[in-house]
Amino acid sequence: MRSLISRGLTVEIKVTVERDMMAFSNNVGIKGIRIGQVTDTQHHTGCTVVMVENGAAAGVDVRGGAPGTHGTDALRPENLVEQVHAVVLTGGSAFGLATVQGVMQYLRQRDCGFQTEHGVVPIVSGAVVYDLGLNKSGTLPDANMGYQACENSSTEGAEQGCIGAGTGATVGKLFGLGRAMKGGQGFASLTSTGGLRVWALAVVNAYGDVRHHENGELLAGVRTEDGRHLANAAACLSELEVLTGFTGTNTVLGVVATNAKFSKTELTRVAQMAQAGIARAVVPAHSLYDGDTIYALSSGSNTGVEVTVVGALAAQLMGQAIVNGILHAAGVDGLPSHRDLFGK
């Protein structure tokens, strides 16, 4: 339990984190929000969709230097659109943005979207991770996969690890895939005694190492030349002048959702503050070679909560979601996971 002050009131926060090694079903617990995913284990790719068919206020913050996104400019505070109807996180690099079309088709068939005189236009934003290093088959996420993820959506959330958009995720690529490790998809959430709910999703495909966001413990990343230990990306960077690894092909993607009632401008601030969770858990963070992107959604009527409170909690939960994605990942094609290297 911890206390935060919101407009003179003490808000008791009970943080729910998952540290066990088993994948689990994580309830979003926020009215109107569902999670759907498709996992293609054969081709090491997939997508995850956060569905808000009735619309939700949304903001976004893109901090990495190599993003692959769709519809993020519409979410800038000065622009017209106030709500989104879905956020898509997908593998397949830029090719994976084809999944957005499937999500839009699903929503249009159900008359969900921005109302115009000629019909609805679903507002769908999305971001990609580069997983082509594992997926060499040419079979990529497409509109059909996006549509199927919508059909699979549920309020009960999704599993963690090599699931959905995290199926082909990897970390620690300073020296290429040969010394990298497996990344994945993770969740974290909290509920206050007063009913405030904050939930976070992370897809971990970072260029560097992943550390525990609270104690700095090195969990996964660049391995030594013999592949048996972690090399410490920060130490490796201090000896490098030119980066020769998997540059431009990495990212951490995230979605934060809350039942606090916020505007798009306020949610942009929440997304910005949530980026601190990446900075605490990933080394280096927000590099020129990462496309770090975080969305923030508000679906609820919980009023009187300060933006700073939710932003601070979002940063904490984003760090935990990143850690959970690593702890639940499984090794594949010679790339070990945290469990493979440490046996826990």
Residue 159 binned pLDDT confidence (cut-offs 50, 70, 90): confident
pLDDT tens digits for 11-52?
444 444 433 322 233 678 999 999 999 999 999 999 999 999
pLDDT at 244: 61
CB 192 within 8 A of CB 315: no
Task: Return the percentage of the chain with pLDDT > 90, whole number.
Answer: 69
Q: Is the pLDDT of residue 90 over 70?
A: yes
Residue 155 binned pLDDT confidence (cut-offs 50, 70, 90): confident
Distance CA 174, CA 240 (A): 10
Q: Is the pLDDT of residue 135 over 50?
A: yes
pLDDT at 249: 67
Provide the residue count of the chain: 344
Which phi and psi angles does 53 have, rounded to 5°? -60, -35
Q: Which residues contact 20 (CB under 8 A, 6 or more apart)?
A: none
pLDDT tens digits for 165-198?
999 999 998 888 899 999 999 999 999 888 999 9
Domains of the chain, earliest start first: 2-342 (3.60.70.12)
pLDDT tens digits for 110-132?
999 999 999 999 999 999 999 99
pLDDT at 19: 36
Region of 221 (left: φ > 0; alpha: ψ -120 to 50; beta: rest) is: left
Distance CA 107, CA 93 (A): 23
pLDDT at 343: 82
Across residues 63-70, what is the average pLDDT? Answer: 88
